[in-house]
Chains A and B, each alone.
Chain A
């Protein structure tokens, strides 16, 4: 099968049931997308499939055929979310943050000016054990302001 990852065409001829996560990490060495639970329970593996946030640990490769995947490596360094993450010193260990940013990017695409409740609902599936939640909220709000 063919697909595009961060704009670049890729070919995959392995097990179509393999979760997208392992294709990104093991085959493309795009290791910014993280394993956290393997069951779509923590959000560390969040990427965009044709623009929608998905948990790549639980979506098989066959769902990505002829589609576009975007990973953290495909989000520009000066993206308003990454800038807001910098401004608010959001990351501690950093491990979950690529998933947080990908989830937040999807949220802002759907709802450019999210309310607190909408942020909570959208981000509730992304666990951060370092406890950066208040800063994530603040950074999303800043990025939402910047994007308007």
Chain B
């Protein structure tokens, strides 16, 4: 069940060619193969990403999930640029989950950076075929055939034709080789790098856009699940008699107990199957369940925080070292230390997880708001004992993702239940489910120590971090920060300090740990950038100038010998360029009028951080009243993300990523007896209109460097810039998140 066969269009002449074609699309092109033929619906599927119908409509396939970053628009912009198609005649189709597309896991801020060239080639390939078709038909040299504005033209003979008119002829031509493709020079880009309105805007405003919760298939049942409140907890006893009396409830089904590792498996518990959402919710309320909580019932976040602090107060395992930090600390003129803690957070997308499954003896079909249709396919196949090829995964729009929906557990639940029920089942998660049974952003503790010389220069730096790691979700014995997480704002600390030592401490997980927008960068940037501010004040320096000095001269950071994978991309293409980090700091300071405003008594905090290969500096301005109530009148963000596809998207991500960073500073999930206490937005705080910055100024550095991440990098610097500003405004230093809505003011001397 490849995506090709699964689509309505069968256009390849043989499975042998299909195999060759799929391979070729990874590399583009597939030499020697016949491209395609026009199908019964008069559509020519030129390649995986481009189809053109005989009426000239261009259909561009987006293989990445749309969760607000406007990737569907960006993919279309890129393809359309090289295809020279008329934007008003382009529609975007969402790809099924299929390895033919390459990676589809829409996380890690990599949709553009890993696909820009490929998608340009896809557009250029279709365009070349159209030109070749015209040249053949008109019997003129290819070089004299232009393709611009959805039309093919031969000026000398005054002939022209709409793309649609050449579709049938183009479909009979062999696919071009990569070397035959000429990509447009950057100077001629009219779509890439510009603001283009979202292709999904009108359906969203009309209320007709389809998200995971909105899926409806014939004969569908709705399911909600009472999951164990404690990870690996089990059902001791169940009385479902009252639930079964609720009108509309048809079945109550016990899910299998969860065996470690949790991974992406259903958590277990009891599902209520009903003809409507309301009946399912009422039925679940009526369940009488006694749980056996198991070992994780000992988890108490207050106690655990002390354990994490104990972990970072002792020597840990060294993960990066230069010089002799211990000796340099001993001999320092001034020695400063601080400890920072951050609680568990929930991704809490506005749309909670939802998946619909239809299972037959031949396979399964899933409709889900998933960030990761391929692992959804694999996990559903595992759950049902099928081959991945037997599972078809449709990706709806996502009402936010932030990492939660890159875990396919909810689709596994729906698939398992659909088979049990013998009808299609839609599983929806309530907000309480989302907050209490999620994959939590990790709780963390960090200790930093620095030594300053008589001139206020930092000569020694010791940083220890401890947090239960994401790999614990897949292997419960994993009990220390993983290499993968330490690459996120810890091992890649960009400061130019001669004596530096980084250590990790142990931390056992008691809940499912998962990734959240920018992952460990959130708490690492919080600690490092807060501490930099503390040191600046101790040295009596301007915090911005001090930060620039800490970063030092422009250079490519050499992490030889350090476990570092540079977000999976080559360090040659994406060096850790401290000059670019310093550059965004200088730009943001200028745009914020850093010096002028500080002289005028305004309260500004600054932070800068490289993540997902992009460089972001943020200045937050706060006001603080006598009672400690804060407001954020203005935020400035400067981002260097290399080549960008849509400046409006980048601006929106910098605004939204900053506000997400604010929420990361305000939120807190706590556990008592192994269960998460907060169940809804009354106790789990996220930024609301009143807390939101009144204005966010975004500067995008004009760059021809390789494209880098955009969705995540604006988040990490926000919280430290915010708490630094609060301190400047007279608040006590916030080292332990969350930041309350009313902070304590420092006693005036």
Interface set of A (CB-CB < 8 Å, partner B): 15, 18-19, 22, 25-27, 29-39, 41-42, 44, 71-73, 77, 82, 85-86, 89, 91-98, 101, 116, 119-120, 123-137
- Residues of chain B within 8 A (CB-CB) of A126 are 689
Q: Known interface pairs A31-B213, A39-B680. Does A73 touch B400 (Cβ–Cβ under 8 Å)?
A: no
**Are A42 and B655 touching (Cβ within 8 A)?**
no
Within 8 A of A (CB), among B11-41: none
Can you list the 7 inter-chain pairs with the closest CB atoms, starting with the nearest? A32-B207, A131-B659, A95-B399, A93-B68, A92-B68, A94-B204, A131-B656
**Are A127 and B214 touching (Cβ within 8 A)?**
no
Number of interface residues of B (CB under 8 A): 66
B686 to chain A minimum Cβ distance, whole angstroms, is 6
**Are B350 and A42 touching (Cβ within 8 A)?**
yes
B198 CB-CB contact with A under 8 Å: yes
| Contact among A22, A77, A97, A123 with B689 in the assembled complex (CB-CB below 8 Å) | A123
A119 to B348, CA, bound (A): 24
A127 to B210, CA, bound (A): 20
B662 to chain A minimum Cβ distance, whole angstroms, is 8
B612 CB-CB contact with A under 8 Å: no
A102 to B381, CA, bound (A): 41
Q: Known interface pairs A85-B205, A93-B398. Does A35 touch B660 (Cβ–Cβ under 8 Å)?
A: no
**Are B692 and A93 touching (Cβ within 8 A)?**
no
Q: Known interface pairs A93-B349, A93-B351. Does A15 touch B247 (Cβ–Cβ under 8 Å)?
A: yes
| Contact among A25, A33, A34, A124 with B350 in the assembled complex (CB-CB below 8 Å) | A34
Nearest opposing residue in chain B for A37, CB measure = B431
- Residues of chain A within 8 A (CB-CB) of B350 are 34, 36, 42, 44, 93, 95-96, 127-130
A93 to chain B minimum Cβ distance, whole angstroms, is 3
- Residues of chain B within 8 A (CB-CB) of A120 are 689-690
Q: Known interface pairs A37-B680, A93-B400. Does A26 touch B277 (Cβ–Cβ under 8 Å)?
A: yes
**Are A130 and B656 touching (Cβ within 8 A)?**
yes
**Are B655 and A134 touching (Cβ within 8 A)?**
yes
Nearest opposing residue in chain B for A131, CB measure = B659
Offer 25 A-B interface pairs, CB within 8 angstroms, sorted by A. A25-B213, A25-B277, A26-B276, A31-B211, A34-B351, A39-B431, A39-B682, A73-B206, A73-B207, A82-B205, A86-B201, A86-B205, A89-B197, A89-B201, A92-B68, A93-B398, A94-B68, A94-B200, A94-B397, A123-B689, A127-B686, A129-B350, A132-B652, A133-B692, A137-B689
- Residues of chain A within 8 A (CB-CB) of B690 are 120, 124
- Residues of chain A within 8 A (CB-CB) of B132 are none
**Are A18 and B648 touching (Cβ within 8 A)?**
no
**Are A89 and B68 touching (Cβ within 8 A)?**
no
A34 to B214, CA, bound (A): 9
B69 CB-CB contact with A under 8 Å: yes
**Are B680 and A77 touching (Cβ within 8 A)?**
no
The total of Cβ contacts below 8 Å across the A-B interface reads 179
Q: Other than A27-B276, A42-B431, A86-B205, give 17 A-B pairs with Cβ distance below 8 A.
A: A32-B206, A35-B213, A39-B680, A39-B682, A72-B207, A89-B652, A91-B68, A91-B198, A91-B205, A92-B70, A94-B209, A95-B351, A95-B400, A96-B399, A127-B686, A134-B695, A135-B655
B305 CB-CB contact with A under 8 Å: no
A120 to B216, CA, bound (A): 36
Chain B 65-79: CB-based contact to A (< 8 A → 1; otherwise 0):
011111000000000
**Are A134 and B352 touching (Cβ within 8 A)?**
no
**Are B68 and A37 touching (Cβ within 8 A)?**
no
B378 CB-CB contact with A under 8 Å: no
B302 CB-CB contact with A under 8 Å: no
- Residues of chain B within 8 A (CB-CB) of A31 are 207, 210-211, 213-214
Q: Known interface pairs A26-B278, A39-B682. Does A93 touch B397 (Cβ–Cβ under 8 Å)?
A: yes
Chain B 167-200: CB-based contact to A (< 8 A → 1; otherwise 0):
0000000000000000000000000000101101
| Contact among A15, A30, A34, A71 with B278 in the assembled complex (CB-CB below 8 Å) | A15
Chain B 386-419: CB-based contact to A (< 8 A → 1; otherwise 0):
0000000000011111100000000000000000
A67 to B506, CA, bound (A): 60
- Residues of chain B within 8 A (CB-CB) of A38 are 281, 430-432, 680
A121 to chain B minimum Cβ distance, whole angstroms, is 8
**Are A101 and B205 touching (Cβ within 8 A)?**
yes
B428 CB-CB contact with A under 8 Å: yes
Nearest opposing residue in chain B for A99, CB measure = B350
**Are B689 and A71 touching (Cβ within 8 A)?**
no
A89 to B222, CA, bound (A): 34
A128 to B402, CA, bound (A): 13
A18 to B278, CA, bound (A): 7
- Residues of chain A within 8 A (CB-CB) of B213 are 25, 31, 34-35
- Residues of chain B within 8 A (CB-CB) of A132 are 652, 655-656
A136 to B652, CA, bound (A): 12
B555 CB-CB contact with A under 8 Å: no
B73 to chain A minimum Cβ distance, whole angstroms, is 10
A42 to B432, CA, bound (A): 13
Within 8 A of A (CB), among B648-670: 648, 652, 655-660, 662-663
| Contact among A35, A41, A92 with B428 in the assembled complex (CB-CB below 8 Å) | A35
**Are B652 and A92 touching (Cβ within 8 A)?**
yes
**Are B681 and A37 touching (Cβ within 8 A)?**
yes
- Residues of chain A within 8 A (CB-CB) of B55 are none
Nearest opposing residue in chain A for B429, CB measure = A35
**Are B696 and A22 touching (Cβ within 8 A)?**
no
A130 to B715, CA, bound (A): 11
Q: Known interface pairs A26-B278, A35-B428. Does A89 touch B198 (Cβ–Cβ under 8 Å)?
A: yes
- Residues of chain A within 8 A (CB-CB) of B696 are 134
**Are B656 and A92 touching (Cβ within 8 A)?**
yes
B688 CB-CB contact with A under 8 Å: yes
- Residues of chain B within 8 A (CB-CB) of A29 are 216
- Residues of chain A within 8 A (CB-CB) of B680 are 37-39, 41
Within 8 A of A (CB), among B681-715: 681-682, 686-690, 692-696
- Residues of chain A within 8 A (CB-CB) of B348 are 129
B272 to chain A minimum Cβ distance, whole angstroms, is 15
Nearest opposing residue in chain A for B216, CB measure = A29
- Residues of chain A within 8 A (CB-CB) of B69 are 92
**Are A129 and B660 touching (Cβ within 8 A)?**
yes
A37 to B401, CA, bound (A): 16
A147 to B586, CA, bound (A): 42
B608 to chain A minimum Cβ distance, whole angstroms, is 20
B593 CB-CB contact with A under 8 Å: no
B286 to chain A minimum Cβ distance, whole angstroms, is 14
Output the residue of A71, A93, A127, A133 with the most chain B CB within 10 A: A93
**Are A72 and B658 touching (Cβ within 8 A)?**
no
- Residues of chain B within 8 A (CB-CB) of A32 are 206-209
A136 to B276, CA, bound (A): 33
A92 to B632, CA, bound (A): 22
Nearest opposing residue in chain B for A93, CB measure = B68
Q: Known interface pairs A41-B682, A129-B400. Does A119 touch B202 (Cβ–Cβ under 8 Å)?
A: no
- Residues of chain A within 8 A (CB-CB) of B70 are 92
